């Protein structure tokens, strides 16, 4: 009886070993099949994306959205792209970052389209709010260049908007003496100006100690730009009846350096009239 048990047990072990070998072989076949399938799929994809149908061969395959001031041609001229190039190889994020580094573009997003193969460019422009002669204080000689300012004080070259189809949307506000040191104040200053009912035509910032505005009420001296700028504009707004009280042609400028005590400076520098701003 013992021999029979030993014989059966040994046969059973042999059978189990054979089953294990078979299972390992099947697992190996599955792995080999998966590797071949993935490799085949990868090769098929590689073949597919290298076909001419997925190539960007000309600028006409680039479309632009979101532009209101800049023409499509002006935006496309800012994109550096060699043709032909595979749609899948183009680094859209880098192209978008390069666009955003250009002065007229605030934000850019570039996406691929498969049918037909193309690139879609969505942008947000920097909207010019004033024209200025920017002083580049580098080196011995200070150079000056005409350009635009957006609401955050970013300088945009004048030629950026030369191809505008709707030139009526360009600003008329002029800024004189704008330099990089004023950029930190510009957004707040411009927001206050845009809310003021008094029309401002020109901002003269050549003297840091005296900000001068040319307004519909005349020339206004404000002293150095400060947190009281909005208050000074409010006082100016309350002086709208000034032309009915005095002959503004005899006025040199309105002195609002102290908004609590506005003055009318007469041509004679020693004569000034204190007025009530109501």
Q: What's the total number of domains in the chain?
A: 2
pLDDT at 46: 59
For the chain, the C-alpha Rg in angstroms (whole number) is: 36
Q: Long-range contacts for 183-188 (Cβ within 8 Å, ≥24 apart)?
A: 183/152, 183/153, 183/154, 184/153, 185/225, 186/149, 186/151, 186/152, 186/153, 187/151, 187/152, 187/153, 188/229
Residue 94 belongs to some domain of the structure: yes
Question: CB neighbours of 62 closer than 8 A, spacing ≥ 6?
Answer: 56, 76, 79, 81, 118, 119, 121
Same domain, yes or no: 148 and 256: yes
Place of tokens 């000074």: 232
Q: Which of 194, 191, 245 is nearest to 218 (CA)?
A: 245
Q: Are residues 134 and 197 in the same domain?
A: yes
The answer to the question of residue 19 being in a domain is no
> Do both 142 and 119 map to the same domain?
no
Which residues of the chain fall below pLDDT 50?
1-2, 5-6, 138-140, 165
Model-wide pTM > 0.75: no
Q: What is the pLDDT of residues 173-206, one digit of tens each?
A: 999 999 888 999 999 999 999 999 999 999 999 9
Instruction: Tell me the pLDDT of the chain averaged across its residues.
Output: 83
- 41 domain-assigned: no
Residues 217 and 93 in one domain: no
| Structure tokens that stand for 88 in this block | 């899948």
CATH code (residue 143): 3.40.50.11690
């Amino acid at each position: 009886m013992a021999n029979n048990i030993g014989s059966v047990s040994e046969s059973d072990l042999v059978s189990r070993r054979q089953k294990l070998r078979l299972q390992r072989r099947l697992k190996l076949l599955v792995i080999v099949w998966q590797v071949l399938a993935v490799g085949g799929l990868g090769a098929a994809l590689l073949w597919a994306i290298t076909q001419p149908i997925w190539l960007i061969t000309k600028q006409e395959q680039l479309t632009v959205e979101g532009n209101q001031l800049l023409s499509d041609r002006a935006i496309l001229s800012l994109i550096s792209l060699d043709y032909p190039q595979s749609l899948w190889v183009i680094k859209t994020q880098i192209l978008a970052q390069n666009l955003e580094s250009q002065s007229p573009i605030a934000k850019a997003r570039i996406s691929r389209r498969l049918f037909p193969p193309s690139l879609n460019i969505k942008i947000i422009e920097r909207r010019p709010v004033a024209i200025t002669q920017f002083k580049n204080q580098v080196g011995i000689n200070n150079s000056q260049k005409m350009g635009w300012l957006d609401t955050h004080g970013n300088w945009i070259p004048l030629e950026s908007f030369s191809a505008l189809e709707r030139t009526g949307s360009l600003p008329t506000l002029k800024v004189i003496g704008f330099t990089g040191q004023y950029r930190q104040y510009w957004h707040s200053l411009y927001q206050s100006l845009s809310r003021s009912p008094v029309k401002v035509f020109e901002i003269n910032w050549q003297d840091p100690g005296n900000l001068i505005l040319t307004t519909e009420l005349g020339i206004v001296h404000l002293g150095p730009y400060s947190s009281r700028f909005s208050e000074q504009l409010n006082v100016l707004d309350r002086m709208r009846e000034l032309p009915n009280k005095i002959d503004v042609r005899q006025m040199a400028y309105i002195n609002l350096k102290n908004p609590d005590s506005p003055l009318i400076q007469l041509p004679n520098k020693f004569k000034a009239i204190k007025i009530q701003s109501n």
